[in-house]
Structure 1
């Protein structure tokens, strides 16, 4: 675990991977670590609004890397598998389109961290041999609700935006709503199942 100061009141902690980052963030929240915000990412956790960075570094020594974070609730996301890249993914995986749909729907994903846009969760769960490359040239507009893959990640676009992920289908689920608490439908730790419709 490497720590780096980010100004006088923030600390960036580097860990091995996204699961470790989520585990550290969950541990820090459970143990009341003094920070205004705790933000996990792909291999880091940002502690912002830290009154005493040195005390935080000392306190983090109690965290045990490898401790699994508690599993969150399961959220089912209905999907119409009609995406522009479904055939590409089938060819990349060496299977038929129906097999892609079946495997994607059978996978239990976990939201590791949020980023890119409000409500966009990076979902882990695909085996690394199922990783697919991003588009060479991103699309100017990916529709709201697009369910897509990039590398070994899965994600759902909460709003229409440019994007380079491979689109498998679409959902009408609302990924971000400021009237909810939390506003993100899939906060870190949420288990996610995609349900074909």
Structure 2
């Protein structure tokens, strides 16, 4: 069966959204990535920026250069024959699940009927798809969280988490890029700097890439943190 045709939604006077569906699904996300790549390759006059999400692509444009109708037609044509999205890469991310980085692990373990060690092992043992950046610059949203770690968000936001915090909630995993309050639950932290405005590219992982976590102890975390290193490619 052929994929459902996307729909175009107006998002103000200078943006539109191409929506592929309503679920968190790798196939939908791949279609988003393919359109994002096709749009970049087309280099359309008037397009300012494209923002991929779980299941849609928002395109900001200059209405004095290209109209909503004209851009919609071009995007739907690209979506019909987008070509392939960039090949996925796999990144290895060191992750420390020891104190003081496991602030919410005990609560998560109790709520889910697990031990603290099981929470860390389940999180580290999965492979995650990079679905989108959102909420704050560089905040990395991941799919692939084991069902056993499916837990709701906190009823009230917790105090600010540090950059690199490993967060879970609502069947999703997230890596924080900046310090801020959140309703997500912190079960670890990575020393890797995943987002740096002074670096090119600012964010290394692309939509569709794969993340694997590598557990490290507190001493190794401190050593890696001092280097302020980015992501490292993972093996096969």
Residue 53 of structure 2 corresponds to residue 41 of structure 1: yes
Q: Which runs of 5+ in 2 are unaligned?
A: 1-5, 217-236
Contact 2:36-2:52 at 8 Å conserved across structures? no
Residue equivalent to 1:73: 89
Moved more, 91-100 or 74-83: 91-100
SS in 2 for 1:116: coil
Residue equivalent to 2:68: 53
Contact 2:48-2:61 at 8 Å conserved across structures? yes
Q: Residue 24 of structure 1 is aligned with which of 32, 35, 39?
A: 32
Residue equivalent to 1:12: 17
- Scaled by the length of structure 2, the TM-score of the pair is 0.72
Residue equivalent to 1:96: 115
Moved more, 145-154 or 31-40: 31-40
Contact 1:148-1:165 at 8 Å conserved across structures? yes
- Scaled by the length of structure 1, the TM-score of the pair is 0.85
Residue 153 of structure 2 corresponds to residue 161 of structure 1: no
| RMSD (Å) for aligned C-alpha atoms | 2.5
Moved more, 87-96 or 187-196: 87-96
Q: Residue 108 of structure 1 is aligned with which of 127, 134, 147?
A: 127
Q: Which has the larger radius of gyration?
A: 2
Contact 1:25-1:38 at 8 Å conserved across structures? no
Question: Greater share of helix residues, 1 or 2?
Answer: 2
Q: Which runs of 5+ in 1 are unaligned?
A: none
Please report how far the alpha carbon of residue 14 of structure 1 lies from its aligned counterpart in structure 2 after TM superposition: 2.2
Please report how far the alpha carbon of residue 80 of structure 1 lies from its aligned counterpart in structure 2 after TM superposition: 0.9
Moved more, 94-103 or 147-156: 94-103
Please report how far the alpha carbon of residue 68 of structure 1 lies from its aligned counterpart in structure 2 after TM superposition: 8.1
